[in-house]
Amino acid sequence: MSQKKRLQYPGEICRPNERIVERIEVVPFRPAYVPPVEYRHLQELEKIIRPMVAVKPKKPYELTPTLVQEIKDWEYKNFTLDLNVARTDAPLGLRDMGLVANTMTVITLTAGAAFSYKMNKVSNDPTPAGAGFVEDQFEIEELYITNTPQGAGTQTIIRIAWNPLLIRVRP
């Protein structure tokens, strides 16, 4: 066996330019021997080696910032409304379906047709809607639609999108 191979053989303790001193048994995960250290030596080491990050005790009321990934919408439903029927604060039916929407989009609106909506409460101010209109800054529990009767064949398609995995906390 060559000198190189003999030195690379696992389980041998070798010194340069000497023969094998002893052969040891290799046991995986054997605990290493740590010599006892005196307390005064530990104090000296603590002065020399400082922690990389200062450790502060947490106060029970202290909030730590947390990075949260935005959760995208998961499901949607298209509502088709005939605008030739008059409505005054008619609910779209989201509460009955148990939905809390994240986004409302007016997909199509017949040319010349118009309607307005109120979000969540009938007492809120009406908002006029047009084709391509998107509402995405609110949680929408219900939409109340108001329109005057318009010509036959006028309609709008409203897409409501939501994510059922979001957890909402009520005050």
74, 163 contact by CB (below 8 A) = yes
Between CA 169 and CA 171 the distance in angstroms is: 7
Identify the H or E element spanning 146: strand 143-147
Residue bearing tokens 């000198």? 3
Catalogue all structural domains in the chain, each as residue range(s) with its CATH number. Answer: 75-162 (2.60.120)
Using one digit for the tens of pLDDT, what is the confidence trace for 6-36? 555 455 455 555 555 555 555 555 566 667 7
Number of neighbouring beta carbons within 10 Å of residue 18: 7
Higher pLDDT, 125 or 46: 125
Is 2's pLDDT higher than 70? no
Taking only the tens place, the pLDDT of each residue in 132-144 is: 999 988 889 999 9
Note the pLDDT tens digit of each residue in 63-82: 666 666 666 778 999 999 99
| Secondary structure E strands in 53-142 | 75-82, 87-91, 103-109, 115-119, 127-129, 134-135
pLDDT for residue 109: 92
Given a cut of 80, whether residue 169 has pLDDT beyond it is no
Q: Residue 105's pLDDT is what?
A: 95
Q: Report which of residues 63 and 109 the model is more confident about.
A: 109
Residue 122: pLDDT above 60?
A: yes
Residues 35-64: pLDDT tens digits? 777 777 777 877 777 666 665 666 666 666
The pLDDT assigned to 98 comes to 87
